[in-house]
Amino acid sequence: MSIFLQNVHKILRRSIELGNFPEELYYFLAKPQRIVVVQIPVRMDDGRMAVFEGYRVQHNNALGPYKGGIRFHPEVTLEDDIALAMLMTFKNSLHGLPYGGGKGAVRVDPKRLSERELERLSRGYVRAIRGVIGEYEDIPAPDIGTNPQIMAWMVDEYSVLRGRNVPAAFTAKPPELWGNPVREYATGFGVAVAAREAAKRELGGFEGLRVAVHGFGNTGQWAAYWSARFGARVVAISDTSGTVYDPNGLDVELALKAKRETGKVVNYPKGEKLGPDASLYVDADVLMPSAMENTIRLDNVAKVKARLVVEGANGPTTPDAEAVLYGRGVTVVPDILANGGGVVMSYLEWLQNLQWQAWKEGETRDRLEGQMVDTFARVYSAYREGRGVTMRDTAFILAIDRVYSAIRARGWM
């Protein structure tokens, strides 16, 4: 069993014990309802045939259709996909969405494919899983290595297979294909909102605080952008090329331009250049780990200086490392709360698509922000009332309670 899946099982078991749920609920939720493993043949540009392995994990649908992203990454495993699907069940539940949890993946390095090869792979994946997805069954979205263009190819392929346009079958599509412009930055925006709300309560306010962002993909870029818009001072950003650090604050828009045009944050023309993980350890008030799982671990947690950790990635802090942080008085805003902006926005897009409506960007962003603020306030209040030792405990207890209520109402337990 992968370390990531082990950690999610630990969190689940701990939350069930702390929430006084029946022990059999752990065994019910520890495994997904369905796992689909597929082989995807793709004709490459040089004429050879390559075969890629893909997954779609459907964890639990007590609350509604399965919902979760599709990851294209060379190191994905089925066990990690199961862990991600489990987290989606609890994230969707926590934010009050009418969704269960699912996740998909293809083991591939998308950077090594041409655009035509990537399109063939995307369409092939949809053909392979077409029987288990749909606007009322399982609604995929992007994750690491995928983007709105890939969603456009996928929704087009699915619509061809169905013989009509089915925009609600996928979310985070380009605005030209029934998407909403807010979805591009929704996850990072939500992380920044969660950080702002946590800082108000834990650090006396967000304006002027030093923020470090580890991982400068879609989530990290927009978390940095909106943190700066909310008045914080972004002092460090990083990707696999390295870290850019400036204690006086970075020009986030210039950093976005450097990343967009060169693909590397170290090509930002100012600041001190450090190693890729240095952003985790710089002097900052708020740290946003926004890259991959298992980023903050027992072997490096002692070097983390931030007073508040807001998780942009899924599972970036291991349970043992989190215990060390709380022992030092550091609060961790958990992934299922902090990075829920993406799936909340996906829900809003799904509603628009089902009704064939189009909402304006400002209106949509206001709805997203309102839901993030409300969910944070609910979790924080329960946390301070002692519903859990950590904020993660509290968030999972609240999420599990909603899933458990639906399971009992259905007569499954």
256 and 152 in a common domain: no
Number of domains in the chain: 2
Give the separation between CA 229 and CA 226, rounded to whole angstroms.
Answer: 5
Which domain covers residue 158, as residue numbers? 31-167
Where does a domain end: 289, 315, 338?
A: 338
278 and 160 in a common domain: no
Q: Are 223 and 192 a contacting pair, CB within 8 Å? A: yes
Where does a domain end: 282, 315, 338?
A: 338
Question: What CATH number does residue 74 fall under?
Answer: 3.40.50.10860
212 and 112 in a common domain: no
Asked if residue 366 belongs to a domain, the reply is no
Q: What stretches of 203-310 show up as alpha helix (H) in DSSP?
A: 218-229, 252-262
Question: What CATH number does residue 328 fall under?
Answer: 3.40.50.720
Strands 100-107 and 66-73: parallel
> Along the 413 residues of the chain, how does pLDDT read in single tens digits?
899 999 999 999 999 999 999 999 999 999 999 999 999 999 999 999 999 999 999 999 999 999 999 999 999 999 999 999 999 999 999 999 999 999 999 999 999 999 999 999 999 999 999 999 999 999 999 998 999 999 999 999 999 999 999 999 999 999 999 999 999 999 999 999 999 999 999 999 999 999 999 999 999 999 999 999 999 999 999 999 999 999 999 999 999 999 999 999 999 999 999 999 999 999 999 999 999 889 999 999 999 999 999 999 999 999 999 999 999 999 999 999 999 999 999 999 999 999 999 999 999 999 999 999 999 999 999 999 998 889 999 999 999 999 999 999 999 99
Q: Specify the residue for token string 């370390």.
A: 3
| Residue 76 CA neighbour count, 13 Å, CB half | 28
332 and 193 in a common domain: yes
Token couple for 78: 């089925």
Helix (H) or strand (E) holding 392: helix 391-410
Neighbours of 407 (CB within 10 A): 18
Q: Are 163 and 131 a contacting pair, CB within 8 Å? A: no
Asked if residue 74 belongs to a domain, the reply is yes
Helix (H) or strand (E) holding 54: strand 49-60
193 and 98 in a common domain: no
Asked if residue 125 belongs to a domain, the reply is yes
Asked if residue 399 belongs to a domain, the reply is no
Asked if residue 23 belongs to a domain, the reply is no
143 and 60 in a common domain: yes
Asked if residue 384 belongs to a domain, the reply is no
161 and 197 in a common domain: no
Give the separation between CA 334 and CA 399, rounded to whole angstroms.
Answer: 12
Based on the residue annotation, tell me whether 103 is a catalytic residue of this protein. Answer: yes
163 and 39 in a common domain: yes
Give the separation between CA 273 and CA 239, rounded to whole angstroms.
Answer: 12
Token couple for 197: 């709300």
Q: Are 259 and 265 a contacting pair, CB within 8 Å? A: yes
214 and 95 in a common domain: no
Neighbours of 406 (CB within 10 A): 17
218 and 144 in a common domain: no
Q: Which amino acid is residue 364, in one-letter code?
A: T
Residues whose CB is less than 8 angstroms from the CB of residue 227 and which lie 6 or more positions away in sequence, other chains included: 192, 195, 196, 206, 211, 213, 234, 252, 286, 288
201 and 106 in a common domain: no
Quote the pLDDT of residue 404. Answer: 98
326 and 230 in a common domain: yes
Write b or e for each residue in 233-264: b if 16 or more Cβ atoms lie within 10 A of its Cβ, otherwise e: bbbbbbbebbbbbbeeebbbeebbebbeeeee
Quote the pLDDT of residue 103. Answer: 98
Where does a domain end: 139, 167, 195?
A: 167
Give the separation between CA 272 and CA 276, rounded to whole angstroms.
Answer: 12
Check 91, 103, 173, 259 and give the catalytic one.
103
The percent helix, strand, coil of the chain (3-state, each to 5) is 50, 20, 30
Give the global pTM: 0.94
Asked if residue 15 belongs to a domain, the reply is no
Output the CA angle 112-84-375, nearest 5 degrees. 120
Asked if residue 19 belongs to a domain, the reply is no
